[in-house]
Structure 1
Amino acid sequence: MTSPEISSLSWGHMKVKGCPSNYKDCKVWPGGSRAWDWRETGTDHVPGVQPCDVEEVLMKGVDMLVIGQGMNKALQVPPSTLDFVKQKGSDVLVLQTEKAVAEYNKMAAGGAKVGGVFHSTC
C-alpha cells in the first residue's frame, strides 16, 4: 500500500487524493487518512501533539512520521512525543505545515512508508 498524496493545502483545508471529504487537520498513512479531531485526546497548541495523537498512524507500520505544526508553527511537539515515536521504531520530522506536506508528498511519491499528522491553521 502507498501513502496517499495530499493534493491541496490552504488555511483550514486539506485534501487527500482519493478521499471524498476535506479535512481541517488530518492523519494519513499508507492506504488511508482521516480527520484529526483534537477533542479525541484533549490536544491543544500547548503542550501540543501528544503520543496518543500519533499512535494510530504509527500502528499502520510507517517508517517515517511527518508532523505539521501549522502555518505559523503554533502547534508544539514536546520531546516526550518525539521519544515515543522513536521508541516505536519510526523516524520523525517536524516542520511548518506547508513544508511538512511537501516533504511528506515527496517521500510518498518515492514509495516510502510515510505517515503524517497535519494541522492546517495557526
Structure 2
Amino acid sequence: MSSPEIVSLAWGQMKVQGSTGTYKDCKVWPGGSRTWDWRETGTEHSPGVQPADVKEVVEKGVQTLVIGRGMNEALKVPPSTVEYLRKQGVDDVRVLQTEQAVKEYNTLVTRGVRVGGVFHSTC
C-alpha cells in the first residue's frame, strides 16, 4: 500500500489523494490520511509537535516521517519528538517548512518509500 500524494497546498488548505475534503492540518501514511486536530493532544506552536501527534503515523509502519512546520515555520519540533521517532525505528525524520515538506514528501511517495507525514498549513 502506497502513501497518498498531497495534490495541493495553499494557506490553510491541503488536499490529499483519495480524500474528498480539504484539511487545514493533516496526517498522512501509507493507505490513508486524516485531519491533524491539535486539540486531541493539546498541541500548540510551542513546544510544538509531540510524540502523541506522530504516534498514529508511526504505527502505520513508515520508514520516513516528514514534518511540515508551517508556512512561516512557527510550529516547533522539540528534540524529544525526534528522539521518540528514532526509538520507534523511524531513523529518517525530515523537518521542513511546509511547502518544502510537501515537495519532499511527494518525491518520496513517487520513489515508493513508506513515508508518512504531519503537516501544518498556516503560520
TM-score category (smaller protein): over 0.9
Q: CA offsets per residue over residues 56-100 of structure 1, 9 Å max, x none?
A: 000000000000000000000000000000110012000000000
- The runs of 4+ residues in structure 1 deviating greater than 4 Å are none
**Aligned letter for 1:49?**
V
2:70 alignment counterpart: 70
Deviation at 1:101, TM superposition (A): 0.3
Deviation at 1:7, TM superposition (A): 0.1
1:99 alignment counterpart: 100
Measure the CA separation in 2 of the matches of 1:110 and 1:21.
26
Measure the CA separation in 2 of the matches of 1:82 and 1:27.
16
Measure the CA separation in 2 of the matches of 1:60 and 1:18.
17
Q: Provide TM-score, normalisation by structure 2.
A: 0.99
Measure the CA separation in 2 of the matches of 1:53 and 1:64.
15
1:7 alignment counterpart: 7
**Aligned letter for 1:105?**
N
Unpaired runs of at least 5, structure 1: none
Q: Secondary structure at the match of 2:119?
A: strand
1:61 alignment counterpart: 61
Q: Provide TM-score, normalisation by structure 1.
A: 0.99
| RMSD of Structure 2 on Structure 1 (CA) | 0.3
Q: Secondary structure at the match of 1:46?
A: coil
Deviation at 1:18, TM superposition (A): 1.1
Say if 2:52 is the partner of 1:52.
Answer: yes
1:20 alignment counterpart: 20
1:89 alignment counterpart: 89
1:80 alignment counterpart: 80
Unpaired runs of at least 5, structure 2: none
Number of residue pairs matched?
122
